[in-house]
Amino acid sequence: RKEVEQDPGPFNVPEGATVAFNCTYSNSASQSFFWYRQDCRKEPKLLMSVYSSGNEDGRFTAQLNRASQYISLLIRDSKLSDSATYLCVVTRTGSARQLTFGSGTQLTVLP
Amino acid sequence: DAGVTQSPTHLIKTRGQQVTLRCSPKSGHDTVSWYQQALGQGPQFIFQYYEEEERQRGNFPDRFSGHQFPNYSSELNVNALLLGDSALYLCASSLQGGNTEAFFGQGTRLTVV
């Protein structure tokens, strides 16, 4: 079983739609949690960190449930520019600089 | 301020050959990590260098080795290339200590034929 699992998609949604991505992690010692965004043939870039209290950045909301070992990302009012692959990322206690990535969920926002 | 730079951007090698990839970290960063990203997969951690030493290593064979120089730049070496080594190789830099963001370079796309 992979340490970080995501639905690979693809998700094809119309502009303005709300879309949610889910991610589960298997290592209960996981310490920090992130969502990264990767455009086609580009490097991953940090979208947002994820906290147990939940956090919001504009149209993006991330949530962490440590008991269920579950992470989510909600995108509201989707834009064409949101089309990308979204990567769920965790780090382990004592290995703060070692990122463990899921396989990514591909999103295409359609006009 | 230059971000993380990697060279070369693309490379084609033959099975059995050796390859060296290079990375210059973002200004002010002292830690370099290398990742391998196969097509359709997320990046997989190879190893991390800090103070010119390998500090952490992922599940990769000894054919993968690295080096960090006093100026914090780093090299990734892969010996005896296999077809399965074809991937995007990403370098990420960060600052040891504290909870700083890791920044990625644009990657080197290696094709083994």
Q: What is the pLDDT of residues A39-96, one digit of tens each?
A: 998 999 999 999 888 899 999 999 999 999 999 999 999 999 999 999 999 987 766 6
pLDDT for residue A82 = 98
The minimal CB distance from B45 to the residues A8, A99, A104 is found for: A99
What average pLDDT does the segment A12-34 reach?
Answer: 93
Rounded distance between C-alpha atoms, residue A52 and residue A68, angstroms = 12
Angstroms from B110 CA to nearest CA on chain A: 13
Q: Taking CB atoms and an 8 Å limit, are B104 and A43 in contact across chains?
A: yes
Q: Taking CB atoms and an 8 Å limit, are A4 and B94 in contact across chains?
A: no
Angstroms from A33 CA to nearest CA on chain B: 12
Nearest C-alpha neighbor of A25 from the set A106, A96, A102, A107:
A102
What average pLDDT does the segment B89-97 reach?
Answer: 90
Rounded distance between C-alpha atoms, residue A36 and residue B87, angstroms = 19
Distance of CA B55 to the CA centre of its chain: 14
pLDDT for residue B99 = 65
Q: Taking CB atoms and an 8 Å limit, are A98 and B104 in contact across chains?
A: no
Q: Which of A4-8, B12-16, B86-90 has the lowest mean pLDDT?
A: A4-8
Angle made by CA atoms B7, B8, B9, in degrees to the nearest 5? 105
Rounded distance between C-alpha atoms, residue B22 and residue B55, angstroms = 18
Rounded distance between C-alpha atoms, residue A94 and residue A103, angstroms = 23
Burial class (CB in 10 A: 0-12, 13-18, 19+), B13: middle
Nearest C-alpha neighbor of B28 from the set B103, B87, B82:
B103
Q: Taking CB atoms and an 8 Å limit, are A43 and B35 in contact across chains?
A: no
pLDDT interval class at A35 (50, 70, 90): very high
The minimal CB distance from B102 to the residues A4, A97, A104 is found for: A97
pLDDT interval class at B1 (50, 70, 90): low
pLDDT for residue A83 = 98
β-sheet bridge partners, residue A5 = A24
With CA atoms as reference, the chain A residue closest to B35 would be A99
pLDDT greater than 70 at residue B98:
no
Nearest C-alpha neighbor of A15 from the set A98, A93, A78:
A78
Tens-place pLDDT, residues A96-108 = 678 999 999 999 9
Tens-place pLDDT, residues B25-44 = 999 899 999 999 999 999 99
Nearest C-alpha neighbor of B20 from the set B31, B39, B7, B5:
B7
